[in-house]
Amino acid sequence: MSARDRARMSETEVAAFLAEARTLNVATLGPGGAIHIVAMWFVMRGPSPVFWTYAKSQKARNLSRDARLSALVEAGESYDTLRGAELIGTAELVTDPVQVLRIGEELSSKYEGLGHDSDLRRAAAKRIGVILNPARTISWDHRKLAAAH
């Protein structure tokens, strides 16, 4: 078995890793083909990371034009502790105000102090939701390699 195979996380391990993670690095394609990368707060719904963003943001405009979306969550301070998961798929844009507010409520529950908890409805009115539907997940946990020796 290769080191790559030994380092791969199981679906259960990926789900647990993503559930505990705080920041999702999101990559979209800009109008000229340049990659636009931003860090987002997110919640998991099954295998899908979900976040919200301003409807007029660059990532929202990019996803309206091209739904391809990749995201990365990583952790670790040294090579032997590196862990990560890359999710490659497409975005489902959520524009229904009730559903966008629900995403905001989920984010507010996970991240106390979103900065607008007292007026979540007004914040939601300016945003859209994004659901990443992963077609492929690539993962690694280098702690497994250290344990193998």
Tens digits of per-residue pLDDT, 29-51? 999 999 999 999 999 999 999 99
Residue whose C-alpha is closest to residue 79's, from 3, 146, 9: 146
The domain total for the chain is 1
Q: Using CA atoms in the order 136, 16, 103, 55, what is the torsion angle rounded to 10 degrees? A: -40
8 DSSP 8-state letter:
P
Question: Per DSSP, what are the bridge partners of residue 96?
Answer: none
pTM, whole model, 2 decimals?
0.91
Q: What CATH code is carried by the domain that includes residue 41? A: 2.30.110.10
Query: Does residue 147 surpass a pLDDT of 80?
Result: no
Task: Flag whether pLDDT at 146 surpasses 80.
Answer: no
Residue of 129, 124, 57 lying closest to 91 (CA atoms): 129
> Has residue 117 got a pLDDT over 70?
no
Residue range(s) defining the domain that contains residue 101:
3-148
Question: What is the distance of C-alpha 51 from the center of its chain?
Answer: 7
Does the pLDDT of residue 149 top 60, yes or no?
no
pLDDT 10s digits, 13-25: 999 999 999 999 9
How many CA atoms lie less than 13 Å away from 102 in the CB half-sphere? 10
Nearest to 80 by CA among 148, 1, 10: 148
The pLDDT tens digits for 52-111 are 999 999 999 999 999 999 999 999 999 999 999 999 999 999 999 999 999 999 998 898
